[in-house]
Amino acid sequence: MNQSAAEFNTAHIFRLTDDTGMFQHTRYNVPDLSKGYTTDDNARALIMVVMLYEKTGRQEYLDLVYRYMAFIMHSQTEEGYFRNFMTYERKFTEVRGSAECFGRCLWAMGYALISTSLPEGVRDACASAIKLSLPRVAELKDLRGQAYALIGLGFITGEESMGLIIKLADAIAVRFEQCATSDDWCWFEDSLTYDNALLPWSMFVAYQKTGQERFLDIALKSMAFFDRNAFRDGFFRPVGCNGWWLRGKEAALFDQQPIEASMSTLAHLVAYEVTGDETMLRFARRSLAWYAGENSCHKSMIDPATGGCYDGIMAEGLNLNQGAESIVGYCIASMAMGTMAETVEADTVYRPWGFFTVLGAALGYKMKRIVVNPGQVLSLQMHFHRSEYWIVISGMAKVTVAENEFILNENETVFIPKTIKHRLENTASLPLEIIEVQNGGYLGEDDIVRFADKYGRVDKIAAGMTAP
C-alpha cells in the first residue's frame, strides 16, 4: 500500500495550509481556525513536502517548503528554543515550547539540511537555525524530546553533533536500564503512552552513528517488547490514549491515534535498515496497513473524497475529524515505505514456476502480470489480508479454489476471497499469462501461507493456521 508522491491526493494538505503555515485541527474536514497553528505540525509538514518535492520536483511543494520553514524560523527564539502554539491572529501563546517541539524541529531541519534537491538557501537557513539550537540540546530532560533530537542530530555531521548524540543516547539508555527490570517489561518508562515506537527508533539511530552495541541491544529488546504487544491480534493495534498502558495493567484499546501507525512504520524501516531482518520490514508494512483498514475498526483511515486522514479510532467508531498530524504522518510513512520498496523489491520478481511484474500499486490494491511456465504450478496457498482477482490473458489455467478445481481460458476470470486456499497451474505446452488484482489492507509478499508446494516451500504456520 505504499504510494509514490504522484499518487497522493494532496488536496487536504493545501486545504490545511494558508499563507502562515499549516493549521492544527479540523472540524470534520474543514480547518478549525480557532485552534490556530503549532510548530510541531509545521515541522512534520516540512519533512513531508521535502519528500514530495524530492520525488516529484513540483514547484507547488517547494513553495510549501519555504512556507513551513519560515514558520519554524519565526518560532525560534534568540536563545535557540522553539515556541509551539500560535493563534490564528499569528501570536505565539508561550515563551518556550516543549522539549518534544524542540526535538521535532531538529528532526525536520536535519532532514531538510541533507536534501540535495532543495535550493542552497533553504539548506543554509536550516544550518543557521540548527547552529542556534545546538547549545540548548544538552538541557533536554524529556524522554521523547531527547529521542526526536537524537534522530535529528543523526543527519548532522561534526564533533559537536556526535557528542550530543552520545549524551542523549546515554540518557535514554539509562532510562531503559532503570525501568526494564524484567522480561515482562522491556521499556523506557512505566507506561506506554504516545509516540511509542520513537524510543527504540532513536536507539537504532544511536547505534548507526556510534557503533555501540549497548544501544543496539536496547533497540532490539525494546522493539521486540513493542512488537509483541502491538501486533498480537494479527494487525497493528496501537495503545489507546484513553488510559494508555500502565505497567501491571491492561492496555487501553481506544482511542487509537494515527501518529502511532506512522511512527511504528518509520521505526521498523530504520530497524530493517540496521539489522536486515525481514521481520522488521513485515512489521513496517503491517503498521502502514493500519491506515488502509487492517485495524480494529476494519475501515480505511483515508477519506478518498478529501485526501485527508481521520483522526483515530474510538470505541464507537472513526473520529471523523481530519487534522494535520494525521495526514502528515500518513504521507511521511507511506513515502518512506515506497522509498524502501524501491530498494528491496524489483519490478520483476522471478520464481521457480516463472515470474511476476508489479504493474501498479496504491492504497489498498496491487496489480501484477504473472507468467507461469509450461508444466509449472504455484503452491497451494492462502492469504490472511488480501483477496485476489485473476484474469487469464493467454494460455489455459488449471485453478483450485477451496475444494473446487476447474479450467480457465482466455478472458475468463475468478475471484479468490482472503483466507481461502487456492492454486494456479499451467498444464499446457505454452506459457500461461494472467493479470492478478490484489485488494486489502496489507499486500506484502510475506502474506502467503503455503500448504503444499512443488519446490519445498511449505510454511510451518500452515499447520496451526494462525496469522503471522
Considering only CA atoms, which of 93, 76, 100 is closest in space to residue 34? Answer: 93
Q: Say what the pLDDT of residue 339 is.
A: 74
Q: What's the grid cell of residue 264?
A: 511504528
Q: How far apart are alpha carbons 53 and 11 in whole angstroms? A: 15
Q: Does domain 5-344 have CATH number 1.50.10.10?
A: yes
Q: Which CATH number fits domain 348-464: 2.60.120.10, 3.40.630.10, 3.40.50.1370, 2.60.40.420?
A: 2.60.120.10
Instruction: Give whole-number Cα distances, 219 to 163, 223, 258, in Å.
Output: 20, 6, 23
Residues in the chain, how many?
468
**Contact (CB, 8 A) for 315 and 247:** no
Within this chain, domains 5-344 and 348-464 share the same CATH topology? no
Supply angle C-alpha 198, 201, 206, rounded to 5. 125
Cβ-based neighbours of 401, under 8 Å, separated by 6 or more: 414, 416, 420, 421, 422
Break the chain into its structural domains and give their ranges.
5-344, 348-464
Q: What's the grid cell of residue 143?
A: 524522554
pLDDT in tens, the chain (468 residues): 455 554 568 999 999 999 999 999 999 999 999 999 999 999 999 999 999 999 999 999 999 999 999 999 999 999 999 999 999 999 999 999 999 999 999 999 999 999 999 999 999 999 999 999 999 999 999 999 999 999 999 999 899 999 999 999 999 999 999 999 998 999 999 999 999 999 999 999 999 999 999 999 999 999 999 999 999 887 899 999 999 999 999 999 999 999 999 999 999 999 999 988 888 988 999 999 999 999 999 999 999 999 999 999 999 999 999 999 999 999 999 999 887 655 555 467 778 898 888 887 766 778 899 999 899 999 999 998 899 999 999 999 999 999 999 999 999 999 999 999 999 999 998 889 999 999 887 777 778 888 998 877 665 444 444 333
Q: Say what the pLDDT of residue 448 is.
A: 87
Q: How far apart are alpha carbons 3 and 39 in whole angstroms? A: 26
Q: Say what the pLDDT of residue 358 is.
A: 84
Per-residue b/e over 434-458, b at no fewer than 16 CB within 10 Å? Answer: bebbbebbbbbeebbbbbebeeeeb
Identity (one letter) of the amino acid at 389? Y
Q: Say what the pLDDT of residue 361 is.
A: 73
